[in-house]
Structure 1
Amino acid sequence: MSTDVRVQQSVVANLSGRPAPVESGPFVIGLDPDTDSPHINYATPRPNAPITPADVTALVAAFREIDRKPRLEYVVSCAPDLEALLLNAGFAVEERHAYLTCVPSSLAVPSLPDGFTLREPGTDEQRAALSGAQHECFGGDPVATESDITRMARLQAQGGIAVMAVAGDGACAGGGQAVPPSGGVSEVAGIAVRLPYRRRGLAGAITAEVTGRLFAGGAEIAWLEASGEDSWRVYERVGYRPGGSRLYVVLD
């Protein structure tokens, strides 16, 4: 089985693990009733499933029924004809990304910068600190909501990974997480370092820690997406290598 297919299957499994997933023909929508964020409530196709224009129409109707913005993320090679169908239905390309993968033999663990510790958040207060730091780094509200805390606790309970970087004064400097592995594959996401703590190698240490914990638990492939050249270099230094292409598509 190709890496593209394994990664796409992991996305299907991740969305199916949402609190209230919705099946629509060859698609699954990862519905979380506690948030209307299109970056959490989105759809993906099952790899290599036949898809027709009628399936796309039904998918849009399913999104309308649950009052969410129609949006998809998927590995391009696993549904090569889908983009044209979506564009014909009025969707627009939001982003195109190359994803990177890491396997146990390629993982390179850097030294942790002096003055920091890495730990798993074990209380709601710590989960709020990590979630708030991630929001801050990605341009959102730095104050975590109850839904954020619940979502992170659920991820941990289901076998996912959450790691927070703690500075010497006890402040949360950043962190990252990974979804519960499926078929030996997991997505690493939310790697974040707050502005005062950057340029010290902390992002690489967080990424390696999250990835290493996945592998220690039996995962075979970790994958992620880079938001720019700087993060791409960070991930390559800890052992991630270019993989396939993913497409983000949305209907406004």
Structure 2
Amino acid sequence: MSTLAEIERFYDAVPRRRADAEDHGPLTLFIRRGDGWPYYARPALGVRGAVSAEDVAAVRARQRQLSIPEAFEWVLETTPGLDAAAEAAGLHVRRCPLLVLRGEPVPAALPEDIALSIVAAHDPDLAAVQAVAHVAFGALSTAAGPAGPAERDAAAATLQAGLAAAWHTSLIEGTMVHAAARGGGVLTGPLCVGSYQHALDVAEIVGVGTLPAARRRGLAAAVTAVLARHALDAGMRTVFLSAQNDDVARVYERVGFRRVATACIAEPPEQAERVEDLAP
């Protein structure tokens, strides 16, 4: 089986753990059961033939009926032409590098004051770890910036009791790792976070984000390398991820990932504008 075929099976399998699947011709709509991050529509597994703008519009109508985001995800090389159909249906399409680990992950050197650790649902820093993701994904690109521990702690203080543990449970079917600084420096506590989810011996690294004030220190590369190593040791045959843009992809290439395809995300233009203000 080709790598892209493995990834396609993975993409179909992962949402089914927590979502109901509705068939809409060449598309499958995943509707989340209970609370948590909403899912999306994607090409039906093994679909042959073109997906039309009318197919996309019909699923969008169903998403509006259910009051869930009008979101579609797919791999361009596996379902060519869906990007044109989505745009014809009025959606904005983002095209992101999709990279696969080739060989062993390359460990990244860390500053002496940084330690990496696995995050458990009972971790006392869990709220701060979640807040790292919130702050990191609210800052554009990979550029360094002023947002740091103070902004992280302010975001953590707004979380409802138990919400961080619920987030941990809903996000991950694999392992979560965070980089934290110890000691009395300006940058203390959780600074970078990432995780992977897995199915059918395939692992996808997701949600790698660094506080802007802690960027350009190699934290994202180090977290990614540890996650990739953990996934391989757990028996995963294929480890992959998608990057926001080419600049982010270069971070992952230093770890041993190579671009093999293009991951597409389609949303209404107003929804896409909000998402494009996020960064890994």
Among all aligned residue pairs of Structure 1 and Structure 2, give the percentage whose two residues are the same amino acid.
27
Distance 1:206 1:30 in 2: 31
TM-score by length of 2: 0.76
Tell me how far 1:4 sits from its aligned partner: 1.9
The answer on whether the counterparts of 1:5 and 1:47 sit within 8 Å (CA) in structure 2 is no
Moved more, 26-35 or 222-231: 26-35
Tell me how far 1:82 sits from its aligned partner: 2.4
RMSD: 2.5
Size of the alignment, in residue pairs? 243
SS in structure 1 at match of 2:178:
strand
Tell me how far 1:47 sits from its aligned partner: 3.9
Tell me how far 1:232 sits from its aligned partner: 2.2
Tell me how far 1:55 sits from its aligned partner: 4.1
Alignment of 1:34-183 (within 5 A): 34-35=35-36, 40-50=38-48, 53=52, 55-93=55-93, 95-103=94-102, 105-122=103-120, 123=122, 125-139=124-138, 142-143=155-156, 144=159, 146-156=162-172, 158=173, 160-169=174-183, 171-179=189-197, 181-183=198-200
The answer on whether the counterparts of 1:47 and 1:78 sit within 8 Å (CA) in structure 2 is no
Tell me how far 1:161 sits from its aligned partner: 1.3
* Residue of structure 1 equivalent to 2:219: 202
Say if 1:229 and 1:89 are closer, same or farther in 2 by CA, change over 3 A.
closer
Distance 2:33 2:265 in 1: 19
Distance 2:123 2:64 in 1: 33
Tell me how far 1:75 sits from its aligned partner: 0.3
Distance 1:30 1:4 in 2: 24
Tell me how far 1:251 sits from its aligned partner: 3.4
The answer on whether the counterparts of 2:96 and 2:264 sit within 8 Å (CA) in structure 1 is yes
Q: 1:233 aligns with which of 221, 229, 250?
A: 250
Tell me how far 1:87 sits from its aligned partner: 3.1
Moved more, 73-82 or 239-248: 73-82
Say if 1:99 and 1:46 are closer, same or farther in 2 by CA, change over 3 A.
same
SS in structure 2 at match of 1:70:
coil
SS in structure 1 at match of 2:77:
helix
Distance 1:87 1:232 in 2: 25
The answer on whether the counterparts of 1:137 and 1:194 sit within 8 Å (CA) in structure 2 is yes
Tell me how far 1:30 sits from its aligned partner: 5.0
The one-letter amino acid of 1:176's match is G
**Which residues of structure 1 form unaligned runs of 5+?**
none
Q: 1:224 aligns with which of 227, 235, 241?
A: 241
The one-letter amino acid of 1:43's match is A
Say if 1:86 and 1:187 are closer, same or farther in 2 by CA, change over 3 A.
same
